[in-house]
Chain A
Amino acid sequence: MRQDSEAAEPGARGQTPLPAAPLLELDSIVKRFPMTVANDGVSLSIRPGEIHALLGENGAGKSTLVKIIYGVLHPDAGEIRWNGERVSILNPAAARALGIGMVFQHFSVFEALTVAENVALGLNDPQQRKGLRDRIAKISEDYGLKLDPDATVLHLSVGERQRVEIVRCLLQNPKLLIMDEPTSVLTPQEIERLFATLRRLASEGCAILYISHKLEEIRSLCERATILRQGKVVAECDPRQETAKHLAELMIGTALRPPYHLQEESAETAPARLVVDRLSVKSDRAFGVDLDGISFSVAAGEVLGIAGIAGNGQNELMAALSGETAADRAETIVIDGKPAGTLGPAERRERGACFVPEERHGHGAVKDMTLSENALLSAYRTKGLAPGGLINMGSTIRFAAEIIKGFAVRSDGPAAEARSLSGGNLQRFIVGREILQQPGILVVAQPTWGLDAGAAAAIRQALLDLADKGAAVVVISQDLDELIEMADQIAVIANGRLSPPRPVAEVTIEELGLLMGGVAAPLPQERRNAVPA
């Protein structure tokens, strides 16, 4: 009954020059949830020093599998072998004791604590806390992950929070490091540095299980890949030998279409729909970034991409554009020729501006509410869903159903709670809700953060279609590939200042990388480190 995974894949041993004994073997792992089988007989083996990719769409079972390896979940059937010995990993502490470290996609950091305190919480042995701050500083320096050990996590951006997780793992000298979508928040140069780090760790014998939807990255970094679809292993391959397109198709099960965007010939003559003129906002948070003289203009049919590393003012810019923080002067933000800087979010929506914030849970959507209530959240005025202050349930449910149908949201219908949707499906719902309000201006932040290739492609296409219908679209993203694929103009935000937008065709990745690294302006982290601790 028990299958030897070595015998099951005779080719693997022959191809690998070092036939080292596997560090970790998973054999026919099964994990059932109410309604679904997340892992259906998954087998996988990783050798010391191997960088192994785990590929799959949302809901393919990647997260479940790595949670089983990390002891967060327990398999219903199948076995786990570590250095050839059968183990049952009861909890993450047991996983860490074995030498398994994990960087989660959804970070498990305590917002009220500092970076050093968060790291200390992950250490099993209190003795290890000695000199922790210095070790954090050293490791983050060595691996190019700048962090102030005394900063409170509450004030850190998504990208900086991820660095806390990575540093926390590296401090424990892991034998196996699991990384779930680690590069989404890094510049190209930083990604190269991280890859150098990972390759160095691998050469030192640490195995790495690398989960990403960026197929080019996997092709340049990983030597083996396991592809999951609907809970089952559909392929094992050497990603260096495959094209990114073929990998994506294995993962999705169908062919991918490249995104389509009308090249607007008349873009220069099209009217400007959104004009931002010397927008400066002082941040009211201790480690927030002040916006400093941001100016840009987006015409009908145009997509402006705003690149930048997390924590350089993106959140503040999004809040200023959406009206969650109002500007001092009305003229700093002009919507379709009318000053709107002092208006709140609801009034800006009435003027035809819609917004998709970075955080899905708790910002763009309320996770404990139903999809129809979440449809009401931003569309109650534009769609007239609550005439006279009374909610029209019928039309609200119809609008939610329209979003679900129009944007292929996989859910149990308008009565399903937002939390029951996968990240990709909830994002489709939120983007759909904003697009179906037929906005003249749409500002989106991190539209495809953490999404698989299929969902990301669908969302990018929907945004481009909106632009092609005459809307002005602003995409704030840390994913440069995404911006280059979608945007007509691109600008970089660094330390609260925005570089002048330029046509995408005229800029190089290296130039953008330098701007993102703040060559024109110092990195906020450096400024912070300059403050004596």
Chain B
Amino acid sequence: MPFRLEARGQNSVLWSWLSPVIAILATLIVSTALFAAMGKPAGDALYTFVVAPASSLNGLAELGVKAAPLVLIGVGLAIGFRANVWNIGAEGQLILGAIVGGGIGLAAGDREGFWILPAMILGGAVGGALWAAIPALLKTHFNASEILTSLMLNYVAQLLLIYLVVGPWKDPEGYGFPQTRLFGDAATMPILISGTRVHLGVLAALIAVALGWLLHAKTLLGFQLRVLGQAPRAAAYAGFSGAGLTWFALLLGGALAGLAGIFEAAGPIGQLTPSISPGYGFTAIIVAFLGRLNPVGVLLGGIVLALSYLGGEQAQIALGLPKAITGIYQGVLLFFLLAADLLVGYRIRLVKRVPAGGAA
């Protein structure tokens, strides 16, 4: 082997940010090849996934709408992942946020009142946090892996949502469709830029990025979470409460995912249906890693992954490609990202052959 991996000794800051760039470029190359293999002009991949979504005001607005839940969830997950709290249940927490917040909206009916929307938003956060409290309790009391418990709770949440929309909460005038009534005007997220679908959730995502960065970089709490993730024994030595920090990380992640859920349900969707999320809770895991587990990076990562959703829709509509294209794009991106992350801690060296003699 003429190449060898050599430990850098220190993680390279430069490469931790170059790695996502390499991963995105490699993903574009692969998706171009994929398009070519399916008989589409090679340039179409680039155009569909990068140029088309960003070429109009409406396209950019849609990008914001798609990125908002990814960023909201991604910020919470990134902070948790830093603390070695592997919340894989954001999808379920999103659904519970939509159920609790949406339930308040449905109960309000067509009533007017300034309190309805804040109550729904609060309900969304509480719903998501409560769903995340289950893995937190199991983790801190029984040392059950939060990866498994939070993952499994996703399916419970999904089934609960289906039960509600085909059962007690079904719209009586909905011709039997599995969906609730539309939310009233006072229970719908206000549009921030008229003529687009940019809603309050987009602003909330930006606020989450700012507050998340503050927590991550400037507060003692953020420092404690990072120490817990990197060296749990050092956290114990310093007197940080591992259980308390685990609770915080899960509740925060759950609350942000729940917010994403209620913003989606009472925003672009306007009612509860069995599919309020096209996998935002899972995609946000990729967003968190693409953003280097840094809230500001999550904003950029959220935009990139939002492109994959828009590009995937575009590919279905304009080129007649299957829906799976979005998942392939996201999977390939994560694959390359994890591979390129090797360069953060290692450098590739050309090995000079030992002249003469040879091995023993």
Closest to A79 in B: B357
For A80-93 the 0/1 string (1 means CB < 8 A from B) is: 00100111111000
Known contacts being A86-B357, A88-B354, is A364 close to B220, with CB within 8 Å? no
Contact assessment for A390 and B237 in the assembled complex, using a CB-CB cutoff below 8 Å: no
For B214-256 the 0/1 string (1 means CB < 8 A from A) is: 0000111101001100110110111111000000000000000
Contact assessment for A368 and B220 in the assembled complex, using a CB-CB cutoff below 8 Å: no
Complex CA distance for A108 and B99, rounded to whole angstroms = 51
Contact assessment for B359 and A94 in the assembled complex, using a CB-CB cutoff below 8 Å: yes
Q: Decide if B9 is an interface residue (CB 8 Å cutoff).
A: yes
**In chain A between 133 and 157, which residues have their CB closer than 8 angstroms to a CB of chain B?**
none
Contact assessment for B360 and A363 in the assembled complex, using a CB-CB cutoff below 8 Å: no
The residues of B that contact A389 with a CB separation of less than 8 Å are 219-221
The residues of A that contact B227 with a CB separation of less than 8 Å are 366, 369, 377
| Stretch from A48-56, A236-244, A285-293, A343-351 at the B interface | A343-351
Contact assessment for B238 and A359 in the assembled complex, using a CB-CB cutoff below 8 Å: no
Contact assessment for B360 and A82 in the assembled complex, using a CB-CB cutoff below 8 Å: yes
Contact assessment for B360 and A88 in the assembled complex, using a CB-CB cutoff below 8 Å: yes
Complex CA distance for A364 and B238, rounded to whole angstroms = 9
Known contacts being A347-B239, A368-B11, A373-B223, is A88 close to B233, with CB within 8 Å? no
Q: Decide if B2 is an interface residue (CB 8 Å cutoff).
A: no
Complex CA distance for A177 and B28, rounded to whole angstroms = 53
Complex CA distance for A109 and B96, rounded to whole angstroms = 45
Contact assessment for A420 and B236 in the assembled complex, using a CB-CB cutoff below 8 Å: no
Q: Decide if B358 is an interface residue (CB 8 Å cutoff).
A: yes
Give how many A residues have a beta carbon under 8 Å from the other chain's beta carbons: 45
Give how many B residues have a beta carbon under 8 Å from the other chain's beta carbons: 25
Contact assessment for B239 and A344 in the assembled complex, using a CB-CB cutoff below 8 Å: yes
Complex CA distance for A232 and B194, rounded to whole angstroms = 74
For B316-354 the 0/1 string (1 means CB < 8 A from A) is: 000000000000000000000000000000000000001
Contact assessment for B360 and A377 in the assembled complex, using a CB-CB cutoff below 8 Å: no
Q: How far is the CB of A313 from chain B (nearest CB, A)?
A: 18
Q: How far is the CB of A507 from chain B (nearest CB, A)?
A: 32
The residues of A that contact B221 with a CB separation of less than 8 Å are 389
Q: Decide if B55 is an interface residue (CB 8 Å cutoff).
A: no
Known contacts being A97-B360, A367-B231, A368-B230, is A376 close to B237, with CB within 8 Å? no
Complex CA distance for A284 and B233, rounded to whole angstroms = 15
Contact assessment for B219 and A98 in the assembled complex, using a CB-CB cutoff below 8 Å: no
Q: Decide if A298 is an interface residue (CB 8 Å cutoff).
A: no
Complex CA distance for A376 and B234, rounded to whole angstroms = 12
Q: How far is the CB of B39 from chain A (nearest CB, A)?
A: 48
**In chain A between 472 and 513, which residues have their CB closer than 8 angstroms to a CB of chain B?**
none
Q: How far is the CB of A23 from chain B (nearest CB, A)?
A: 13
**In chain B between 293 and 331, which residues have their CB closer than 8 angstroms to a CB of chain A?**
none
The residues of B that contact A323 with a CB separation of less than 8 Å are 239
The residues of B that contact A367 with a CB separation of less than 8 Å are 230-231
Q: Decide if B56 is an interface residue (CB 8 Å cutoff).
A: no
Known contacts being A366-B227, A368-B230, A390-B219, is A346 close to B238, with CB within 8 Å? yes
Complex CA distance for A359 and B234, rounded to whole angstroms = 10
Complex CA distance for A482 and B10, rounded to whole angstroms = 33
Contact assessment for B219 and A87 in the assembled complex, using a CB-CB cutoff below 8 Å: no
The residues of B that contact A118 with a CB separation of less than 8 Å are none
Complex CA distance for A361 and B231, rounded to whole angstroms = 8
The residues of B that contact A90 with a CB separation of less than 8 Å are 359
Closest to A344 in B: B239
The residues of A that contact B219 with a CB separation of less than 8 Å are 386, 389-391
Contact assessment for A417 and B218 in the assembled complex, using a CB-CB cutoff below 8 Å: no
The residues of B that contact A368 with a CB separation of less than 8 Å are 11, 230
Known contacts being A324-B237, A378-B238, is A87 close to B360, with CB within 8 Å? yes
**In chain A between 442 and 485, which residues have their CB closer than 8 angstroms to a CB of chain B?**
none
Q: Decide if A357 is an interface residue (CB 8 Å cutoff).
A: yes
Contact assessment for A365 and B234 in the assembled complex, using a CB-CB cutoff below 8 Å: yes
Closest to B214 in A: A390
**In chain A between 300 and 356, which residues have their CB closer than 8 angstroms to a CB of chain B?**
322-324, 344-349, 355
Contact assessment for A89 and B234 in the assembled complex, using a CB-CB cutoff below 8 Å: no
Complex CA distance for A317 and B213, rounded to whole angstroms = 39
Contact assessment for B234 and A362 in the assembled complex, using a CB-CB cutoff below 8 Å: yes
**In chain A between 384 and 438, which residues have their CB closer than 8 angstroms to a CB of chain B?**
386, 389-391, 417, 419-420
Known contacts being A87-B360, A420-B9, is A349 close to B231, with CB within 8 Å? no
Interface residues of B (CB under 8 A from A): 9-11, 218-221, 223, 226-227, 230-231, 233-234, 236-241, 354, 357-360
A322-B237, A363-B233, A373-B223 known, 16 other contacts, Cβ within 8 Å:
A34-B9, A79-B357, A86-B357, A88-B357, A324-B237, A344-B239, A344-B241, A345-B236, A355-B237, A366-B231, A368-B230, A380-B220, A391-B219, A391-B223, A417-B11, A420-B10
Closest 9 CB pairs of A and B: A346-B239, A345-B239, A386-B220, A87-B360, A366-B231, A362-B231, A363-B233, A88-B354, A86-B357
Q: Name 5 A/B residue pairs within 8 A (Cβ), A-sorted.
A: A82-B360, A85-B360, A324-B237, A369-B226, A389-B220
